[in-house]
Structure 1
Amino acid sequence: MALALTRYIPHWRHLAIHESSPTLRGISPKLRRECAGYVESQYFPKERLGSNIKGVRNENLEAQTFSDAAFDLVVTLDVMEHVNMPDRVTKEVFRTLKPGGAYLFTVPTYKGKSDSERRALYRLDGTIQYTSEPEYHGNPVSDAGSLVTFHYGYDLPELIHQWSGMDVEVYRFHDHRHGIIGEFTEVYLAHKRAR
């Protein structure tokens, strides 16, 4: 992510940036430290959206409280595989981006999948419908972890375009100099067209 950010958005320090679900390592501390227009959010489901919880803004990516065209850049690192309705997330990202803005994100992309697969669905009544064996990843705000709702395939860029109208570039790194080797090295850059 850091390599893609410096290569493709070198002026990021001067932008209004929203990062959802930042961690204490990786690119998140650098964004927080070096970008005056940086806003971070986490999702605390039982708290009021838009409120400040322990110094962090509470936002549900599927129903954000930010105003339209608030940001030049939205960033998420391995978040999209945990959202319930990715179509709503990309529509909300599009809404909160300024014209010409971008959504930079990572998400595990499975090389053997041409079609993305839903693995779990949060129902309105609070229950979970599992379509595959439950899988959990780390969660910066909960020791219970984050349920994986999707395994994405190579159709993800087209899905994002269908959901939001954004055009998507995918960068796959195999870079010995920077130690970026192996699977799941994709970085996505979705663009909201300037008017």
Structure 2
Amino acid sequence: MTVENFVWDSQNQSVSWIYNGKVIKETFENAYFASVDLQKNYVYVEAGQNYSRDQVYNLSFEGKRIFIFDKVSGKISWIHQNQLVEIHCKNTLNAQIYIEQNVIIIITGPNQTAINIKGFTLDGRLVFEKEPPKGYKFMYLSNYKNQPSIVCDGGENNVDDYGRSRWHFVINVNTGDMTKENLAY
């Protein structure tokens, strides 16, 4: 079953759709973007003042908030086995849920020189905390070949022959170890 009549109303900062014949409508303060991810079966909403990515919401097609990342408060919450799991991380820059791999990955750091990633199981247990690969800086979370990845910038010391220095590093969800895989565009 899929979403029908998906509408992102930027003026009213609301999103609505029809699922299983039921109309679902949600409004978010300072929302500026919304989309449907048919591959992962959720509605994605970004919110924040002046288009800053301060809050991220993943909603089930039934309208339940299944993942929330609030950069301002440092609160990350999600639903796991019908239970709300909530963690707080200081200086959170980004967070993403990877349901298929049973992990939440968070980028944290008080400044550009002290950024690391943390991985949590879906029940909220910390399983790893890692610094960037030597010579690289963390940029943002992503996916590479259906695996959690983080895009890293290698700066001038790690450019290829064409001047490119951003790479996908696939993250081992059990250890946090990262493997350099492919250029990121």
TM-score (norm 1): 0.28
Whose RCO is larger (CA < 8 A, sep 6+)? Answer: 1
TM-score (norm 2): 0.29
Q: Which has the larger radius of gyration?
A: 2
Larger strand percent: 2
Larger helix percent: 1
